[in-house]
Structure 1
Amino acid sequence: MLKKLRIDPFVIAIIISILLAYLFPQLGNSDSPVPMSVISSLGISLIFFFYGLSLSTEAIKNGLKNWKLHVSVQASTFLLFPLLILPFYPLVKDTPHELLWLAFLFMAALPSTVSSSVVMVSMAKGNLPAAIFNASISGIIGILLTPLWMLSFVKQTEVPFEFSSIYFQLFTEIVIPLVLGLILRRFLGAWAQKRKSTLNKFDKSVILLIIYKSFVKSFEDDIFSSVSILELLAMLVLVMILFFVVYILTGWIGKVLKFNQADQITNQFCGTKKSLVHGTVFSEALFGQTTIVGIMLLPLMFYHALQILIISAIAAKKGRAHKNPNV
């Protein structure tokens, strides 16, 4: 069991990136000779270009048949999560905790993961084509819905936001490369599939770079001085509670909709995930010009680590039960 619960190396890499941002900020600070903004912008564009190349149009066509499962997963991702966070807004409005609440809303409004959702659904013997469909379509839906969820609330903060430039950045860095990848998929799709592991490492490298850059900016402006250790611990506990509430609710919804076991697994695994890749990219577009970008990523990074730890343990147990129904 301990082997099943080992820490994901990517989580360790994230922690190292944050430590490097604190100890060695020279490459990412405002006086750096390295054009970090240009590098991260190019990296984001390439992530979504490769994402477009790798999208399985066959899985999407087949997946459209199971519409109740897809509606359930996407509703959980983009409605259930944010609606669980919204009721707490009156309690934090105009208080020092409003920014932390905004970070939770940002996490809640994000798309589901792609690779880890698919891998863990496969491990648990869930509906794999449906997982591929939902993980793929979630990232596309999030390009529109995630900024919309944030729009009305960030306008009420004292942090300056220019939404026309934000949507222009989302369009040029994400939408255009994604569409270009989809167009070129027939020519380069096989190449992308063969190099899936390498492209996944590239994605993670870009994310680590953006995390480093984001935390350098936040450390440079001393933004974390307002966040206490107690608040960080509370954030960790709240993230865990949020995960289990959504996991239980998606399980109940699956029973109401009479999903079979494979669909139920996919509904719960895909419906409870949040994408660190999209979160890091969207934070760069939404908050990259502000000092709060590091704080906006904190709940998401806690959630990312917990979702991998918990879901991998559940997936391993379900996989063993599938092999031996008497277990």
Structure 2
Amino acid sequence: MPVDPYIVLLLGTVGLAALLPARGTAADAVSGTSTAAIAFLFFLYGARLSTREALDGLRHWRLHVTVLACTFVVFPLLGLAARGLVPVFLTHPLYQGLLFLTLVPSTIQSSIAFTSIARGNVPAAICAGSFSSLVGIVATPLLAAALLGGTGGGFSADALLEIVLQLLVPFVAGQLLRRWIGGFVTRHKKGLGLVDRGSILLVVYTAFSEGVVHGIWHQVSPVRLAGLLAVEVVLLAVMLALTWYGAKALGFGREDRIAIQFAGSKKSLAAGLPMAGVLFGVHASLAVLPLMLFHQMQLMVCAVIAKRRARDGDAEESARGPRGARTEVGTGTRSG
């Protein structure tokens, strides 16, 4: 299972924040820059998403409802069930971070990439990830208010407004301007991808700098960290199984099941980090630790699963023969 080089950069950023945390005026400047960077990141998301693709994707409403249910219903229920692991496996602050992890929306880029590798329904994965991100801008803060309550770190109408202004408004602006800038964004996708990753690194540095300055990291011991990892392994395994076999029970074909599994079992670091910064304040670094660990874990495991799904697809095609005599009912776009 490969280690994503980007995760190495994330860990390096955490190390930099531990050694050289931003303080005083520098902290204010870094915080303002990270806010602007995340807004620009979601502007690019909006400019990349084809409006026609989004409208076409609405035809697969059963698939999208399934992904949203996994992301904002099943995941949070599992997060609430993990409350029984406090204080044996998790401290209360780590549990709060774990519960927050279950509330954030799904990923976009990695869901698309793994669905493509596994030869699944890529258009459905594009729309499912995008719809999940949009719904999450409102759903995640509301769920945090309901489930985390006062211990969540200051949810309020102002916090919701700040998240909408930072994430949703730039996304809508990107959609509105796509007609004029869409081609440029597509042609320079690789270069602009550096903006994506750089924005997240900046947010990580900001959050962990605040944590170091306020002494939050003294609350985490190696034993508690190991307990958190064990819990997240179980969480990911349960969601991967539910999305795959549950989608089969609902009558989805193979290509749609692949899209549901990869879009419904993952959580977005790009969306979760800025939300945590708003909702948790100085405690954001501890709150996003479970999300960062889960993010790396899901990338490693899903990379292996995607390759296995691709091999299984090749085997099925070979078994059908050159004329494709047998076809799977409800496969791909038809099951939507």
Q: Report the counterpart of residue 322 of structure 1 in structure 2.
A: 313
Q: Report the counterpart of residue 81 of structure 2 in structure 1.
A: 87
Which amino acid is 1:214 matched to? A
Q: Report the counterpart of residue 278 of structure 1 in structure 2.
A: 271
SS at match of 1:22: helix
Which of 58, 67, 78 aligns to 2:72? It is 78
Which amino acid is 1:201 matched to? L
Q: CA deviation at 1:48?
A: 1.2
The answer (yes or no) to whether the contact 2:144–2:155 under 8 Å persists in 1 is no
1:179-220: CA deviation from partner (whole Å, max 9, x where unpaired): 211111111111111122222210110110110111111111
| Unmatched segments (≥5 aa) in structure 1 | none
Q: Report the counterpart of residue 207 of structure 2 in structure 1.
A: 214
Corresponding pairs, count: 317
Which of 300, 303, 311 aligns to 1:312? It is 303
Which of 217, 242, 251 aligns to 2:244? It is 251
The answer (yes or no) to whether the contact 1:52–1:179 under 8 Å persists in 2 is yes
1:112 aligns with 2:101: no
**Root-mean-square deviation (CA), in Å?**
2.0
TM-score by length of 2: 0.89
Q: Report the counterpart of residue 287 of structure 2 in structure 1.
A: 296
Q: Report the counterpart of residue 182 of structure 2 in structure 1.
A: 189
Q: Report the counterpart of residue 220 of structure 2 in structure 1.
A: 227
- Alignment identity in percent? 33
Which amino acid is 2:32 matched to? V
Q: CA deviation at 1:169?
A: 1.3
User: In 1, Cα distance between the equivalents of 2:36 and 2:177?
Assistant: 18
Q: Report the counterpart of residue 203 of structure 1 in structure 2.
A: 196
User: In 2, Cα distance between the equivalents of 1:77 and 1:109?
Assistant: 7
| Unmatched segments (≥5 aa) in structure 2 | 320-336
Which amino acid is 1:57 matched to? T
SS at match of 2:62: helix
- 5 Å-filtered alignment, 1:74-153, equals 74-89=68-83, 92=86, 97-153=91-147
Q: CA deviation at 1:22?
A: 0.8
Q: Report the counterpart of residue 65 of structure 1 in structure 2.
A: 59
User: In 1, Cα distance between the equivalents of 2:82 and 2:227?
Assistant: 15
TM-score by length of 1: 0.91
Which of 163, 168, 171 aligns to 1:170? It is 163
Q: CA deviation at 1:163?
A: 1.3
User: In 2, Cα distance between the equivalents of 1:314 and 1:169?
Assistant: 37
Q: Which moved more, 1:108-117 or 1:33-42?
A: 33-42
The answer (yes or no) to whether the contact 1:81–1:109 under 8 Å persists in 2 is yes
1:73-109: CA deviation from partner (whole Å, max 9, x where unpaired): 111011110011113436649x982221111111111
